[in-house]
Amino acid sequence: MMSVRTDLLLAVLRDTIAATVNFIMLSTANQEVYDPAELHLGDSALVVDRAAHQIFQANLLAHPGTAKLDIVPTVVGEEHPYLPDDIRDGQLLVLLDPADGSNQWRCQRAGWCTAGIVVQRVGDGWRFVTAFSAAPDGRLFLLRDDGSVIIGSTHNAIMAPFRGPTPPNPTKEHIVAANAYKHQSRHLAAPVFDALGDEWFCLTFAGNPAVMNLLTYDTDAVFNPNPSSVWDTAALIIAAHTSAVVGSIDGQVWRPEELVALFGSRVDLDPATCQFVPPYVAAKNEELYRQVVSAITAGLASGS
């Protein structure tokens, strides 16, 4: 297995992500683009999604540091679910969701992010290398090869260690974000919201953008009642490497190495099987995690 120049890789990713985020922020391409028969692994197929994928790939290939890294020139993921058949042992592959939360972007230009993971080809399998997630307000998270998380800005090259998350919401109410704005999710999340009671405020968005808010803002917990693809959980992998608590909806806490082994080292672009990450809960601490898990259990038992 070839070694990876991780610091160089992170520098390349930082610049590539910044260009992608800036493009999305200025874009007005909110119309649908894909033919229904065309393979697409996301929910909404907008012009901005495809264009952002192309911007990411173009900036990645044009970066002077990329020539010193053995990166597969084709970026794959939600907008391009086609794996090249000539990947060599030791090469790096980027799995990308260029605009995770494009419906939020479409309606308010917020609540979205650019996220993904990088894996390395090892024989017939894959090895997790890093995860990244960047928000439109400039927050950028990268995972180093020693398991530490660094936070920076898409506006400059300054990066710093991040141990987070920030403390729980200082008011008496807690805040939970859930993937519940879609029809197929609402009936799963509604009884959980009811079970949480009056001391929880409930937001209906989740995924990478919500987990980033858990790490740096006052969102106390995030849960997704649906399975998801690995690029949808890049921020979740990052959060597991901080003091946040990440686990299944039935109360099984995932250690960072478990999360990487289970989900971060698998490449699956088949529409029938790509959503292999099970429903999850992330929280600022274990007490909040257990509260949400209990509410999920009660909500499911209610049969609502």
Q: Output the pLDDT for position 41.
A: 54
66 is written with which tokens? 């990329």
- 3-class DSSP state for residue 97? strand
The band of 28, judged by pLDDT with boundaries at 50, 70 and 90, is confident
Q: Output the pLDDT for position 4.
A: 73
The sign one gets for the Cα dihedral 192, 194, 199, 204 is: positive
84 HSE (CA, 13 A, CB side): 16
Rg (CA), the chain: 18
- 3-class DSSP state for residue 99? strand
Q: Output the pLDDT for position 30.
A: 61
Alpha carbons 259 and 255: distance in angstroms, whole number: 6
User: pTM for the full model?
Assistant: 0.92
Task: Say yes or no to pLDDT of 264 above 70.
Answer: yes
Q: Output the pLDDT for position 279.
A: 93
Percent of the chain with pLDDT over 90: 67
Task: Say yes or no to pLDDT of 239 above 60.
Answer: yes
Distances (CA, A) of 106 to 32, 115, 183: 11, 17, 18
**Average pLDDT of the segment spanning 240-268:** 94
**Average pLDDT of the segment spanning 65-92:** 94
The band of 33, judged by pLDDT with boundaries at 50, 70 and 90, is low
Q: Output the pLDDT for position 1.
A: 41
Sorted by sequence, the CB contacts under 8 Å of residue 213 that are 6+ apart come out as: 177, 219, 222
Domains of the chain: 6-162 (3.30.540.10), 174-302 (3.40.190.80)
Count, in order, helices (H) and strands (E) of the chain.
8, 12
